[in-house]
Amino acid sequence: MRVLTSYIVREVLKGSFVALLLLLTLFNLFTFTDELKDLGEGNYGLKEIFYYLLLTSPGVFYELVPASALLGSLFVLGAMGNNRELIAMRAAGLSVFGIIRAVMWAGAILVVISMLIGEFVAPITQRMAQMVKVSARQEQVHINEKYGLWLREGKNFINIRRVIDDGKLADISVYEMDDQQHLHVALHANKAIFKGKHQWNLRGIKKSEISTQQMVASKQANQLLNLSIAPDLLKMVIVTPNNLSLYDLAGYVTFLKKNHQKSQSFELAFWGRIVNPLVTFIMLLLSAPFVIGVKRGVSVGERMMIGVVIGMGFNIIDKIVGHLGLIYNLNPPLMAFIPSLAVLALALFAINRIKE
């Protein structure tokens, strides 16, 4: 039985990685076509586009693992069924649940690989990819940190923590240096509104003027700040869930709550990361009934169509449920788990129908 189990695990892994390579290539082709629209802006050329695609690939890899596991297992188990290998295995004493257990072992290996890439590689390369694109198109962007965006304008160092959808900034800190590179003025503004022509109107200001003799604190209603960067570019390089690991997402959600800011989208992303390994197992579990319970002779194309429909259907439902949760401020863990648990129930029901 151990030899048969190892054989199934090896073949499912091969099929899943082939499916993953094909899907990754397809997604990168779509991304390449989309990036060509920005070709020639600043220093953004073909070299930067290919580098951008290389750096975003780990994040795409992580997202595609569940769908690739489903397609790979359907293809491999389907081929085994058509070649009567599954019948021979069952005749040799390997039960239906033995086959499913072997498929789950393959899923465990896929999950470990995807988690390592998703937690330790993808967040770093995703931030690097954004900076490659932004630096080529807008060279004044200096440092991108996971808890905000740092910019330099002359003697000013500016930290922006939030970009609001209507083009406003919030939680802005400005540090002005003197000619000797000593801190001269520290300023914090609650909000900034774009006035056009590189001017932002800071509001709700707390200001500290620092010298060798004293430090003077004051408040003022508003002040103009010259910042040669537009709101749409700030939205692109500010913190996003894809830039953060599970650990960083947890820390950022805590930060947002502590500062009385909305954190639902980041909470949903956090619980989505928790659910992602479960989704891989569910996709593999769901493939078993469509192979073992479907008559022999079903073509590869038909099985692939089944996988595509299931994968796309799950993703669409998952996105709809997530957006409904954000709109109606529903519980993020519940919204993240509902689609997966519903598909898990369907898979268990289908497996029970083919039980010996």
141 pLDDT band (50/70/90 cuts)? very low
Model pTM score:
0.75
Torsion region of 45: left, alpha or beta (phi above 0 gives left; psi -120 to 50 gives alpha): beta
101 burial level (CB within 10 Å; 0-12, 13-18, 19+): middle
DSSP-assigned letters across all residues of 238-283: S--GGGS-HHHHHHHHHHHHHTT---HHHHHHHHHHHHHHHHHHHH
Element (H, E) at 186: strand 183-196
Residue 127 has pLDDT above 70, yes or no: yes
Domain boundaries, the chain: 2-128+243-353, 148-238
Partners of 145 in the β-ladder: 148
Asked whether the predicted pLDDT for residue 351 surpasses 70, the reply is: yes
Per-residue pLDDT, 144: 46
Please report which confidence band the pLDDT of residue 88 belongs to, taking 50, 70 and 90 as the band edges. Answer: confident
d(CA 73, CA 170): 48
Structure tokens given for 324: 């409904």
The answer on pLDDT for 143 being more than 60 is no
CA–CA distance, 312 with 67 (Å, rounded to integer): 9
Question: What are the C-alpha distances in Å from 149 to residues 162, 173, 248, 267, 279?
Answer: 9, 11, 16, 21, 33
Q: What is the pLDDT of residue 299?
A: 66
Give the per-residue pLDDT at 165: 53
**CA count, 13 A, side-chain hemisphere, 167:** 11
Integer Cα distance of 247 and 60 in angstroms: 19
> What pLDDT is recorded for position 139?
46
Question: 172: which strand partners?
Answer: 160, 189
Higher-confidence position of 278 and 42: 278
Per-residue pLDDT at 235 exceeds 60? no
Q: Are 203 and 222 in contact (CB under 8 A)?
A: yes
What's the rounded mean pLDDT across residues 55-81? 90
Residue recorded with tokens 């949760």 = 325
pLDDT tens digits for 289-320? 777 755 555 666 676 677 778 877 888 898 89
- Higher per-residue confidence, 155 vs 116: 116
Predicted confidence (pLDDT) per residue in 313-342, tens digit = 888 898 899 888 888 888 999 999 999 999
